[in-house]
Chain A
Amino acid sequence: MPNLIETQTLSRAFNGQPAVRALDLEVPEGAVYAFLGPNGAGKSTSIRLILGLIRPDSGTITVFGLPLATERLAVLRRVGSLVEMPSLYPHLTATENLAIPARLLQRRSADISRVLETVGLSSVGRKLVGNFSLGMRQRLGLAQALLGQPELLVLDEPTNGLDPAGIHEVRQLLKSMPSEHGVTVFLSSHLLSEVEQLATHVGILSQGTMVFQGAVADLAARRQSRLRVIVDRPAAAAVLLNARGWSTDRQGEALIAAATAPAAALNRILVEAGFDVHQLVHEEDSLEHMFLGMTQSEVR
């Protein structure tokens, strides 16, 4: 798959403080790419750079194979975006709010109805946005992003403010974008569950630097697994297992053995030696654990 977004050694600082450092981003066409990172990692700055809202101090940005620096308008014509909170005019109705970008994107009123339907706001199209809840505003922001039938969606925290049902709907919508509409989705999030359920690719950012980038499957392959054993006398059990060639670590009342250890054999050794085995669980690193490991080691 060719890359739809590519940045090379992209950097940007604010008042001498680097926000993004030598970022090499690669978003494949047809992907749902999740951009992860703790607050202040540089996600929003990266998104603003990609949308041309701010200029880089150094480095290049290419979108659809076009250099953003010289082809900004040609790129933006094919991009739908939602940056942080939706940009809306509270004194206008939902339909009127959409009529503004529709005019600039040369779209018809049928397109406004279409996107209102897509985000589930058809029934409130004539209501003033000032009376909308946070979730409704977020949906309308998504409708704005979808209005121009973009080939690329760039979304900053798209499920912000939505209730669980709304989050589920938006996730399903975004998930279907590549297959049903041929749209590549690039979204930032700090919700790891969102990434696990939604993304095909992931980039993890820490202090402005990319610490991991690749397919979610590649990230999963990096997960470490282990056996957690809970026995009545862990110290004695550890001595026994070590004597039999299984190296273990103590973690509170539990023993942690390598995942390669055959669970059944290990259980038999302990039971035959008179230990009570209360639990024997195969554990795998969660994405959260990996995320924290990657981002906190950078912080340190």
Chain B
Amino acid sequence: MIGLQALPAVLATEYMKLRRTLALRMTVLPLVVVFLYFLLGIMGTSSLVRQNPDVWDSIGRNSISLWTMLMLPLFITLETSLLAGLEHTDRNWKYLMTMPVPRWTVYVSKFIVTLTLVAIAHVVLFAGTMVSGLLLRQFAPDLKIVALPMGGVAWPLLKITAAALMAVAIQHWVSLRWPSFIAAMGFGMCAMVVGFMAVNSPEYGPWFPWSLTLHTLRPLPGAVIHPAVFSAIGAAAITAFGAWQFARRDVA
């Protein structure tokens, strides 16, 4: 198999490796956010869900904000590290790299798998939020949730997924480049903290990969390019470089 012909087969094997992994199980992590806001809603006392007259809108926005600010960077770091760990742990690279497939397909497939896991997590967050809304409408009538417009949750999540591409691409490169789980985690944590600090900076905020997801929620005035578009372009460039480098490196 050569080039693009090999990509579907390599991708299929990467999905096969997900079976029984923590990486796959972690995609239900957004349910923590959903559950938290469901509890706040059912208790009906929190200003978090009563900060605007449209409680459903408030729940949707707050769930997405909490996920994007606190949990998504951590989720990306963990997922990339866990997926890379599948190969680093038993030094599985040395067998994988003797398979008759171009090496770049392995790199790109693993990147696609990470994106898939992010997408699954966002589907879980979307579905969980919708179910939570239905339950709140049923069991907390005083919240006066009448309609549950899906677009208010789905559209921001779609943009956040796109805006996360560059952070995923960088973290993916780091995780495959260094076998140490701690190195990848440390890098991800530092990037997350810098992302928090940079988010309000008009100079650096629109360009720092870990700030881009937050910028899709609160765009800075005068941004020259949409964060999601910038992230996608950056991710493509970083993945192309990473795959090129991966194909040339020694397998220890």
Q: Does B2 contact A (CB under 8 A)?
A: yes
Which stretch (B46-54, B55-63, B70-78, B89-97) binds chain A?
A: B89-97
**B10 to chain A: closest residue by CB:** A104
Within 8 A of B (CB), among A44-76: 48, 51-55, 73-74, 76
**When A96-B19, A144-B95 are in contact, do A104 and B100 touch as well, CB less than 8 Å?**
yes
Cβ–Cβ contact A86 & B16, under 8 A:
no
**When A100-B13, A104-B9, A104-B13 are in contact, do A84 and B19 touch as well, CB less than 8 Å?**
no
Within 8 Å CB of A51, what residues of B?
Answer: 97-98
Which stretch (A87-95, A111-119, A160-168, A183-191) binds chain B?
A: A87-95
Per-residue contact bits, chain B 232-249, to A (CB 8 Å; 1 contact, 0 not): 000000000000000010
Tell me which of A85, A89, A100 contacts B91 (CB under 8 A). Answer: A85
Cβ–Cβ contact B90 & A52, under 8 A:
no
A53 CB → nearest B CB, Å? 4
B13 CB → nearest A CB, Å? 5
Number of A-B contacts (CB under 8 A): 84
Q: Does A277 contact B (CB under 8 A)?
A: no
Cβ–Cβ contact A76 & B90, under 8 A:
no
Cβ–Cβ contact A103 & B92, under 8 A:
no
Cβ–Cβ contact A105 & B99, under 8 A:
yes
Cβ–Cβ contact B20 & A91, under 8 A:
yes
B interface: dominant SS = loop
Cβ–Cβ contact A53 & B97, under 8 A:
yes
Tell me which of A76, A99, A103 contacts B98 (CB under 8 A). Answer: A76
B167 CB → nearest A CB, Å? 27
Within 8 Å CB of A85, what residues of B?
Answer: 90-91
Cβ–Cβ contact B99 & A76, under 8 A:
yes
Cβ–Cβ contact A92 & B20, under 8 A:
yes
Report the Cα distance A99→B248, complex, angstroms. 27
**B92 to chain A: closest residue by CB:** A87
Q: Does B32 contact A (CB under 8 A)?
A: no
Cβ–Cβ contact B94 & A73, under 8 A:
no
Within 8 Å CB of B248, what residues of A?
Answer: 55
Within 8 Å CB of A96, what residues of B?
Answer: 16, 19
Per-residue contact bits, chain B 65-91, to A (CB 8 Å; 1 contact, 0 not): 000000000000000000000100011
Report the Cα distance A87→B97, complex, angstroms. 11
Q: Does B21 contact A (CB under 8 A)?
A: yes
Within 8 Å CB of B100, what residues of A?
Answer: 73-74, 76-77, 104-105
Q: Does B144 contact A (CB under 8 A)?
A: no
Within 8 Å CB of B13, what residues of A?
Answer: 100, 103-104
Interface centre among A74, A90, A104, A106 (most CB of B within 10 A): A104
Q: Does B4 contact A (CB under 8 A)?
A: no
Q: Does A214 contact B (CB under 8 A)?
A: no
**When A48-B251, A104-B9 are in contact, do A53 and B19 touch as well, CB less than 8 Å?**
no
Cβ–Cβ contact A54 & B251, under 8 A:
yes
Q: Does A79 contact B (CB under 8 A)?
A: yes
Cβ–Cβ contact A90 & B251, under 8 A:
no
Within 8 Å CB of A213, what residues of B?
Answer: none
**B8 to chain A: closest residue by CB:** A103
Cβ–Cβ contact A86 & B20, under 8 A:
no
Q: Does B17 contact A (CB under 8 A)?
A: yes
**Residues in chain A within 8 A of chain B (CB atoms):** 48, 51-55, 73-74, 76-77, 79, 81-92, 96, 99-101, 103-106, 144
**Residues in chain B within 8 A of chain A (CB atoms):** 1-2, 6, 9-10, 12-13, 16-17, 19-21, 86, 90-102, 248, 250-251
